Structure 1
Amino acid sequence: MDQIQEQITVLDQKIERLYQIVEQLSHQIAESRLEQQDNPVRGSEQASIVAQHQQDFDRESLDSAMKHKDILSDRSDSKSNANYDSEVSSEIQIRRLHAQLTAAYNRIATLEEQLLACKIHS
């Protein structure tokens, strides 16, 4: 049981770090957008790309992207935590954490691609 708890803790730490990376990428993309706004937009293609990126990185969009059936919420009260621990086995927790980790990696890759696209078109 200790080994499973250690795996859960390690995965939780990795996920927390991924959230930090996603936040940093979001800030970098926002800065890139500001730089693009300072420069005149050339062509309808660039204007549509910038508009699309602005919509993609709206805070609500980020929040909804992070809501996934396999992502465990960090904002649960102590009563639901007690019930959750008794209802969900450790193996299911590990599977969900793996899914959450995979989703975070995919989100980071998407953010990096969008940041690169913003830099290329600026």
Structure 2
Amino acid sequence: MDSVQHQILALNTKVDGLYETIERLNLKLSQVLASDDSQPHPEPGPRGESAEDNLLIADTVDDWGDFMRHKDVLGDDSHSSPSQASSEANIAPELQIQRLTAQLTAAYNRIAALEEQLLSRTDFAQRNHHLVSDRRR
């Protein structure tokens, strides 16, 4: 394999990892939005991860099924049909790298936006919790 193919494989691996990270963030965000402020939060593990986080890490992208077809998730062409694979083989390696880099950048930006949204909602929920507990005193 030449260096261009190695770069393509490395970018594909990074994009796959980002898909998983985005889905974990989406799930965490959904859990935060759905949870009641009065419920205690799970204790973090030794590395700062809760038991729920450990279960999420064990999941793979293939387990998500239709959930991966989301407006914020770019399609993964690795499971494409043979006819699509042959047409993609004709794309220049430089163009493939450019496309994968664009996907990677978009995924990083989406992760940052989701993290910011999660933090702001968590901060808001904590402030509300403190206000409610202060009023009860």
Normalised by the length of structure 2, the TM-score is: 0.63
User: Deviation digits for residues 5-38 of structure 1, max 9, x if unmatched?
Assistant: 0000000001111111111111111111122xx2
Three-state SS of the structure 2 residue aligned to 1:63 is: coil
Q: Give the count of matched residue pairs.
A: 97
Q: Percent identity?
A: 36
Q: How does 1:65-104 map to 2 (within 5 A)?
A: 65-67=72-74, 73-86=77-90, 88-104=91-107
CA 72–24 in structure 1, closer or farther in 2 if over 3 Å, else same? closer
Query: Take 1:105 and 1:27, find their aligned partners in 2: how far apart are those partners?
Result: 17
CA RMSD of aligned residues (A): 2.3
Q: Which residue of 2 aligns with 1:64?
A: 71
Normalised by the length of structure 1, the TM-score is: 0.70
Contact 1:72 1:96 in 2 (8 A): no
Query: Take 1:34 and 1:72, find their aligned partners in 2: how far apart are those partners?
Result: 29
Q: Which residue of 1 aligns with 2:22?
A: 22
Query: Take 1:16 and 1:30, find their aligned partners in 2: how far apart are those partners?
Result: 21
| Structure 2 gap segments, 5+ residues each | 39-65, 126-137
Contact 1:18 1:104 in 2 (8 A): yes
Specify which structure has the higher proportion of helix. Answer: 1
Alpha-carbon distance, 1:39 to partner: 3.9
Which structure has more relative contact order (CA 8 Å, sep 6+)? It is 1
Larger radius of gyration: 2
Q: Which amino acid aligns with 2:122?
A: K
